[in-house]
Amino acid sequence: MKEMTIYDIAKLAGVSPSTVSRVLHDSPSVRQTTRERVRQVLDGQRFEPDAAARGDGAAPSSRLAGILVPDVRSAHVSGGVYCLERELARDGCCSLVFNTGADERQIGHSLRQLARHRPDAVVLFGPQYQTEGVRQAVASCLPQTPAVLCGGTLELENGYSVLAGEEFGAAGCVELFASRGKDHPALVMGGETPAELLLRQGFCYAALRFLHQPNPPVCLLEAEEGAGEATARLMREHPETDAILYSDDALAAAGLRALLDMGRRVPQQVAVIAAADSPCAALCIPKITALGNLAYEQGLAAARTLRAVFAGEHTSRRMMVYAELIERETT
């Protein structure tokens, strides 16, 4: 009989594989009703993670994968890396994690260090790695090693890409704003990373499509400016704003505080959505509506890609994952 996988469990439970992974890893981000439904299927199928997935050291590892992370402290990335490492362990592959920062010289140094260990694969976790310098470093240090970029495109013969649907996620947020009667949305971004630029593109497209707004306000944080100050500036310059999409949950939390301090009622006067979810969004008062954290989905997709590569099976060079919009109290 074929061994049951989390993909089989997900199909039976009517959820995504990443949700099953979250339940197995006791993530607090899963709704209690969903957790119970998944647990019921797990118990009914008598599904148990193997020793490697549990991390008890009972199963030997025959492969090595390097995982590059720009900042291990990031709540958005760490959950995905944890999921990736656990999934690789299920396949008997141990992981070596490098906390590289965003500097290309340090990234190159990490790749050279990894190359000395002769890894079977490398995963670059984050859109920050979608640069020509990093592409050349991978080509130079690990020319024959399967390399997966989560959050961007890696144009190499040995490259695979897991793309996050930021554009589609932003469009879904604007569509939700429109359904709530909000006609003047704005976007607040902390920077201009590849992911944020895609978010902006999707936001502007959806504002035109759903609200006939050809030039919606886009507020980029200025030097030494926090999200609260940026929100206050936005409301001064565009007082008609009745909905704000923030590029991550930390910005949304600070912006929400600023709106409340200004006496704005949320969501009655101004609706708020964060483009990236974490426990921070659920702990705010009111709780912030957010796009689900795609890091879990990216981690699962990267593991699935490497599983196929290790097995010598054909797999797509590009995969796209999409975020679920988690509605809470700010919409």
Tens-place pLDDT, residues 298-318: 999 999 999 999 988 999 999
pLDDT band at 293 (very low <50, low <70, confident <90, very high): confident
Looking at residue 2, its pLDDT comes to 57
Domain assignment present for 155:
yes
pLDDT band at 50 (very low <50, low <70, confident <90, very high): low
Domain assignment present for 133:
yes
pLDDT, tens digit (0-9, with 9 covering 90-100), for 275-289: 988 888 999 999 999
CB-based contact 259:123 (threshold 8 Å): no
Q: How far is Cα 241 from Cα 262, in angstroms, rounded to an integer?
A: 14
Tell whether 270 and 304 lie within a shared domain.
no
pLDDT band at 46 (very low <50, low <70, confident <90, very high): confident
Domain assignment present for 331:
no
pTM for this prediction: 0.76
Domain assignment present for 251:
yes
Residues 6+ apart with CB under 8 A from 128: 70, 102, 193
Domain assignment present for 13:
yes
Tell whether 96 and 212 lie within a shared domain.
no
Tell whether 284 and 187 lie within a shared domain.
yes
Tell whether 121 and 194 lie within a shared domain.
no
- Structural domain total, the chain: 3
pLDDT, tens digit (0-9, with 9 covering 90-100), for 109-145: 999 999 999 999 999 999 889 999 999 999 999 999 9
Domain assignment present for 210:
yes
Domain assignment present for 81:
yes
Tell whether 287 and 298 lie within a shared domain.
no
Looking at per-residue confidence, does 138 or 195 come out higher?
138
Q: What CATH number is attached to the domain comprising 29? A: 1.10.260.40
Cross-strand pairs, 164? 321
Tell whether 115 and 202 lie within a shared domain.
no
Tell whether 88 and 122 lie within a shared domain.
yes
Instruction: Indicate the average pLDDT of the chain.
Output: 91
Tell whether 316 and 224 lie within a shared domain.
no
pLDDT, tens digit (0-9, with 9 covering 90-100), for 53-76: 444 444 445 799 999 999 998 877
Tell whether 266 and 234 lie within a shared domain.
yes
Q: What CATH number is attached to the domain comprising 70? A: 3.40.50.2300
The average pLDDT across 154-170 equals: 94
Tell whether 176 and 287 lie within a shared domain.
yes
Tell whether 173 and 250 lie within a shared domain.
yes
Helix (H, G, I), strand (E, B) or coil at 67: strand
CB-based contact 292:250 (threshold 8 Å): no
Looking at residue 59, its pLDDT comes to 43
Q: Is the pLDDT of residue 261 over 60?
A: yes
Nearest 5 degrees, angle CA 186-CA 191-CA 192?
95
Domain that holds residue 304: 60-164+294-326
Tell whether 40 and 136 lie within a shared domain.
no
Domain assignment present for 55:
no
Q: Please state, as a whole number, how many other Cβ atoms lie within 10 Å of the Cβ of residue 73.
A: 9
